[in-house]
Amino acid sequence: MKTVLEAKNINKYFKKPVLFHVLKDINFKINEGEFVSIMGKSGCGKSTLLYILSTMDSDYEGDLYLNNDLLTGDSRNKLSYVRNKHIGFVFQFHYLLSEFTVLENVMLPAKKLGEKSVKQIEKDALEKLRILNIEHLAHKKASQVSGGEKQRVAIARALINNPSIIMGDEPTGNLDSHNADNVFNIFKKLSVEENLSLLIVTHDEDFANRTDRIITMEDGRIIS
């Protein structure tokens, strides 16, 4: 099976306020179509790990591979491009550009990538919104839709460039159980139907138990 994401011997230190070894020798792989969750107590370093894997944090030791390409040491511009093309992101808070419409928010990463015409992008974006059952919100301002809907818009945005992997930092953490369930089902469907890899940091045990694999972290190490 094809490996999408691979971390080799990743170590990370916080230098302020005192030197602190956050991540200790992290090694793991994520295969294509795998739905993986990361669990662990607050402060165990799981979010820190996620931001390293997402390429937003480049201050670490070790090697990071995406689709078997080494990303460690690449320039920030190159990493921005990789994030844009290969990684979709969903956060705990909704993080939409509130002054833009839902559709524009979804289209933004694709416009940035600039591989397709605006018409094509718009068609794709509407398609993604349709998959997530929020087509009717397309022309509303992002600030005018509810929390659960926002999270779905964020997922649609993460999907727009057909990424290799979707990463989530507690994407259901701020949602009620109904919406959380909804989001989980969407992720599951993407994993099964589209063969998409997912890596989700979560506190929600029910959520984690339903994923393919759980990576448990404690004090900066993977314990299982």
Instruction: Name the site residues for another protein (rule: CB under 8 A).
Output: 47, 51, 54, 56-57, 76-77, 80-85, 89, 91-93, 95-100, 108-109, 111-114, 157, 169
The total number of residues written for the chain in this structure: 224
31 vs 47, beta carbon nearer another protein: 47
In this structure, what token pair is assigned to residue 218?
């404690």
Query: At closest approach, how far in Å is the CB of 192 from another protein?
Result: 25
Q: What are phi and psi of 101, to 5 degrees?
A: -75, 165
97 vs 192, beta carbon nearer another protein: 97
113 vs 126, beta carbon nearer another protein: 113
148 vs 163, beta carbon nearer another protein: 163
99 vs 194, beta carbon nearer another protein: 99
Amino acid at 169: D
Would you say the C-alpha torsion 41, 202, 36, 87 has a positive or negative sign? negative
Q: Closest Cα partner for 88 from 174, 220, 198, 1?
A: 198
Query: At closest approach, how far in Å is the CB of 76 from another protein?
Result: 6
Query: At closest approach, how far in Å is the CB of 90 from another protein?
Result: 10
In this structure, what token pair is assigned to residue 98?
């509130």
Query: At closest approach, how far in Å is the CB of 2 from another protein?
Result: 23
**Which long-range contacts does 42-47 make (Cβ < 8 Å, 24+ apart)?**
44/217, 44/218, 44/219, 44/220, 45/12, 45/217, 45/219, 45/220, 46/201, 46/217, 47/169, 47/201
67 vs 80, beta carbon nearer another protein: 80
Is residue 137 within 8 Å of residue 153, measured between CB atoms? yes
| Radius of gyration from C-alpha coordinates of the chain | 17
Query: At closest approach, how far in Å is the CB of 198 from another protein?
Result: 17
67 vs 84, beta carbon nearer another protein: 84
DSSP string, 27-81: EEEEETT-EEEEEE-TTSSHHHHHHHHTTS----EEEEEETTEE-TT--HHHHHH
- What residues are paired with 31 via a beta bridge? 3
Query: At closest approach, how far in Å is the CB of 118 from another protein?
Result: 8
Query: At closest approach, how far in Å is the CB of 89 from another protein?
Result: 5
